[in-house]
Structures are given as C-alpha cells and as structure tokens.
Amino acid sequence: MTKNELLQTQKESLHEILKQDTALYQIIQMVSTMAIPELYVGAGCIVQSVWNRLYGMPIGYGISDVDIVYFDEDLSEGKELETSKKIAGEIESSNYSLDIINEARVHLWYEERFGFPIQAYGSSEEAISTWPTTATAIGVSLNENGQLQVFSPYGLDDLFEGIVRPNKKMITKEIYDQKVAKWKKKWPDLNVIPW
C-alpha cells in the first residue's frame, strides 16, 4: 500500500469512527454547514474517539469537550462572542460542552493564560500545527458532499498507532507532561514518547 493509499484508508476509518459517536458527529455536521471561515472540529474529541476504538473503551469515554476553531480577522471580543453564540445556538443541546475559539485572537490572551507570548496565527491550519502532540494536531470538517476533510500536518500514523509524541512548536515540557499523565490514566496502553 502506498503512503497516499494508507492515508486515504486512515481518513475513511476516521470518518467511520466519528460517525459512531452520534452526538459528536452531529456537531461536526452542523458546524460544517455554517458560513464561518476556516472552521474545524479538532484536537482531543477526535483523537480520543480513535483511542476509544483502539483500546475498547465506550464511545465518548474521556472526552471532556469539543474544540471548535475558526479564523476571523475581526479581532473584537464582541464578534468572537457573537460567533460562539451562533455556533452554540445551532447545536442547542449536546452531551458535550463546546470550546469555541477564534484562532486569529489567541495571541491576545495566550500569555495571560499560559505565561508566555506567542505570535499571531495566520490561519486555523497554522494554529492546529502548534497543538501539543502530533496526534492531537488535527482538525476535521465535512465538505458539501458529506466527505470528511482532514487537516493533520503530521499525518495520521501516530493517531492510529496510539502514539503520543510531543509537538515542540509551542508547548512546554510541563504542559506536555501534564497532558500525558492525564491521558495515561484513561488510556494506559498509549505509547508515550518522552519529551
């Protein structure tokens, strides 16, 4: 199997896994139809759905929230709040809480929350590329034909092999170690690559 064929097979498997969690998949379907720029559902909810399949855990196990990111060059807090309300209003009730972020604004609050400044992102994809691990640096949406669109700058191998590998573009060792400790309690068979 060529690298491209493997990636296509992985994307098809990911789509099937995500469809199993009807609450999560409904969120992906709903936000994918909204006219919001560079919108993705990503990070933990996607990765943990795969880990649950890999390790025989129930659907939804360990998923604390659903990360929804987009990129709007209107940097006002009011516009971000308006967009968040629009998305939350479409989704109405769900098993999951939503974490909705305009990646264009992250540099405005990052230092206060995490202790060091970052440069402004130029796109949602650039932001996703800095997420803490190679497996969690992933965003998905559905195109108008219902096909899963996947942005995964480090590929899908680590995701499907249960490998937690640090993405050192932005996070610190301390943040990585905290995430690893939390995940290992829930999915003890994960293969963790040390910092």
pLDDT at 115 exceeding the cut of 90: no
When pLDDT is cut at 50, 70 and 90, the band that residue 130 belongs to is very high
Q: What share of the chain is helix, strand, coil (3-state, %, to 5)?
A: 45, 15, 40
The answer to whether the pTM exceeds 0.85 is yes
Q: What are the start-end ranges of the H helices in 21-172? A: 22-32, 44-54, 77-91, 106-114, 124-128, 157-161
Number of domains in the chain: 1
Mean pLDDT (the chain, rounded):
95
For 2-13, what is the mean pLDDT? 92
Range of the domain at 28: 3-192
Contact 21, 49 (CB under 8 A): yes
Structural tokens at position 164: 């937690």
What local confidence, expressed as pLDDT, does residue 19 receive? 97
- pLDDT band at 97, cuts 50/70/90? very high
Q: Quote the Cα angle for 45-65-121, to 5°.
A: 75
